[in-house]
Amino acid sequence: MGLKTLLTTHIAAGDSHTLKHYQSVGGYESLKKAISEMTAEQIVNDVKNSGLRGRGGAGFPTGNKWGFIPKTDKPKYLICNGDEGEPGTFKDRMLIERFPHMLIEGMIIAAKAIDSHQGYIYIRGEFHKGIRIVETAVEEAYKAGLLGKNILGLGYDFDLAVYSGAGAYICGEESALINSLEGRRGHPRLKPPFPAVSGLYACPTVVNNVETFCNVPHIIRMTGEEYKKIGTEKSPGTRLFAVSGHVKKPGIYEVEMGTPMKELIYDICGGIKNDKSLKAVIPGGSSSPILTAEEAMTATMDYESIASLKSMLGSGAVIILSEETDLVETTYRLAEFYSHESCGQCTPCREGTHWVKDLLHKIKVGEGTEKDVELIFSLSRNMEGGTTICPLADACVMAVRPTMTKFKEEFSLRLKKEVSVSH
Amino acid sequence: MAYQFSQESEKRFQRLIPQFPSKRSLILPCLFLLQADKGFVDTEGMQYIADRIGEPVSLAQVHGVATFYTMYNKKPVGKFHIQVCANISCYLAGSDSITEHVCSKLGIGKGETTKDKKYTVDEVQCLGACGFGPVAQINDKYYENLTPESIEKILSELEKEG
């Protein structure tokens, strides 16, 4: 366990984003294999055998997702979700800027697997540089005959376009992303029907994360059976962990699944900034419930271990909080994020996220009471578990309630005005 | 003269059309073209977009999209739009001091534009560069690992740029 590279092996190369470099290190060989030697069913089965789970947040098995696409005459669409916006998460931007051809290759292979002939790469709008790099890579791929009609003369057609988001976190939710791509407000849709049955333009659609697609060429190259030997049995492969907060060496690290969190924080990231002690870890993006330092030291970086601690591996964003962290302030900032990003469709989310944020602000500035704490807990019960179309309200609850429970004392001190407050 | 796409935007618009089976998908990219031309999205421009895309897209639909997304400026912003990330990782890295420094240097508050229309300062939610905080986006470019000293230098360079 520990550092192991599949996706980021060639990150040191200054021109890793170019077609020339990508092909010089074996890029697009998996595409040739997939198109000329494998049937769609074989590709799906290989990805199923690899055990690859989606790297966007939910961790759903990728091969199964592809297998849900019905065999109809309707067009099938393939979408890359590059709308990275969860606080703490910053891995996909690196993949987009450094390895756009790995992403494109993964998408073409996935397209053949589901019989799609049109794909879109949806990238968050703020990533201007990444959008330009991917657009250039797509142009390069077209010129080299890797996209368009009759790819490499092997008889498969696939077109790919880049689409820029316009500043809405909710568009990372796949049905909201589909609405956005259709030129609508990014409102999540009621499910069912799921996108596999009725997605973009009411046609069967697969939406996968950037990192998920980037794994695909490696699976095809080494076979699913071999890929599955990396990582743990139920969480195979490597994972890009985006580490931020109070560590000496924040950054993006590709490690084998199952690596102890302690190793990630202390050996790989150099330990806690200013040699302070660890207070807590948010293990999988801002919506994953916080872990105490004690819990974090027992965890390994895989889906099962983090789930056993009642949290989530989510988007692979690890936020480290030292003993100096003001948890009331950080909890308020997260609630502020979710209230800002609520799309407004569902009342429990639209009203609840704002209410929770306002109550936390009251507590943060030293004007809160025990009743406000009780009210937050009461409100949160009405914001979770299927009361809304999408899980944004649940995410707000998960970012707030476990912190208020596990670090109750810190909130109590603020209520008693025994600590300094900021406005 | 009534607004119409600049030559560059018109070229991009023509390239966009065949990429989507539904014309409605053109609304978001067209709003970016409008913003590139004018600096912000206004009713005249949105009407133009609705007309250029044609049925079934209406002004109301274009307006509904424009008002949902934060990246479309609904009013003019300064020549340099400074957006400092305030969310968790940037906050932990000291983003508050960066925002304060920028505001005090420019003599404006958050969400305001300087009188000479040169700078607008906004505090924004996560910019997705959390390992390199504090981060600010100035127009299209990210500035990472900011300190009060480095942002001071950046502001001086912007001042020279004019």
In this predicted model, what pLDDT tens digit does every residue of A319-339 receive, in sequence order?
Answer: 999 999 999 999 999 999 999
- Smallest CA–CA distance, residue B31 to chain A, in Å, is 9
pLDDT in tens, A266-316: 999 999 999 999 999 999 999 999 999 999 999 999 999 999 999 999 999
Partner-chain contact A161 B125, CB within 8 Å: no
Q: Residue A123 pairs with which residues in a beta bridge?
A: A82, A164
Contact A84/B142, CB-based, under 8 Å? no
Length of chain A: 423
A224 is written with which tokens? 């699913």
**Cβ separation B87–A337 shorter than 8 A:** yes
pLDDT tens readout for residues A199-227: 999 999 999 999 999 999 999 999 999 99
Q: Is it the case that residue A422 has pLDDT exceeding 60? A: no
Strands (E), A148-203: 159-164
Map tokens 């949806």 to a residue.
A122
Query: At B86, which amino acid appears?
Result: A
Report the C-alpha gap between B92 and A224 in whole angstroms: 40
Q: Is the pLDDT of residue A423 over 70?
A: no
Q: Does B133 touch chain A (CB under 8 A)?
A: yes
Contact A163 B28 (CB under 8 A): yes
Task: Give chain A's mean pLDDT.
Answer: 96
Number of C-beta neighbours around residue A68 at 10 A = 13
* Residue A319 contacts B where some CB pair is shorter than 8 Å: yes
CA–CA gap between residue A333 and residue A349 (Å, rounded): 17
| A351-364 mean pLDDT | 97
Measure the CA–CA gap between A224 and A64, rounded to whole angstroms: 14
> Which residues of B70-131 form beta strands (DSSP E)?
80-85, 119-124
Angle between helices A40-50 and A210-222 (to 10 degrees): 100
Q: Say what the pLDDT of residue A1 is.
A: 81
pLDDT tens digits, one per residue of B61-70:
999 999 999 9
Interface-testing mutation among A93, A126, A338, with chain B (most B C-beta atoms within 10 A): A126
What are the angstrom distances between the C-alpha of B122 and each of A150, A333, A392, B41, B127? 48, 16, 24, 18, 12
Judge contact between A81 and A124, C-beta under 8 A.
Answer: no
pTM for the model: 0.96
CB contact under 8 A, B32 and A166: yes
Instruction: Return the number of other C-beta atoms located less than 10 Å from residue B108's C-beta.
Output: 17
Contact assignment for B89 to A244 by CB distance below 8 Å: yes
Residue of chain A with shortest Cα separation from B26: A183
Q: Calculate mean pLDDT across residues A131-142.
A: 98
- How many of the other CB atoms lie within 10 Å of CB of B56? 9
**CB-based contact A358:A392 (threshold 8 Å):** no
Instruction: For B129, name the nearest residue in chain A, comparing CA atoms only.
Output: A90
Tell me the nearest-neighbour CA distance from A45 into chain B, angstroms. Answer: 31
Which of A:161-180 have CB within 8 Å of B? 161, 163-169, 180
- Using a CB-CB distance cutoff of 8 angstroms, which residues of chain A are in contact with residue B64? 185
What percent of chain A is predicted at pLDDT more than 90?
96
Average pLDDT over residues A37-61: 95
Which residues of chain A from 40 to 79 reach within 8 Å of chain B, CB to CB? 75
Average pLDDT, chain B: 95
Give the C-alpha separation, B63 to A82, whole Å: 25
pLDDT score for B40: 96
Please tell me if residue B147 touches chain A, with a CB cutoff of 8 Å.
no
Residue A183, chain B, CB below 8 Å: the answer is yes
Interface touch B130/A87, C-beta < 8 Å = yes
Whether A418 has a pLDDT exceeding 80, the answer reads no
Q: What is the pLDDT of residues A367-396, one digit of tens each?
A: 999 999 999 999 999 999 999 999 999 999
- Assembly ipTM: 0.95
Residue numbers in B near A167 (CB within 8 A): 69-72
- Residue A296 has a pLDDT of 97
A377 DSSP β-pair partners: none
Nearest-CA distance A162 → chain B (Å): 9
Chain A: nearest CA to B82, how far in angstroms? 13
Residue A57 has pLDDT above 90, yes or no: no
**Any CB–CB contact under 8 A between A419 and chain B?**
no
CB pairs under 8 A between A and B: 138
Q: What is the rounded average pLDDT of the residues A229-234? A: 93
CA distances from A382 to A66, A174, A343, A377 (A): 34, 24, 17, 9
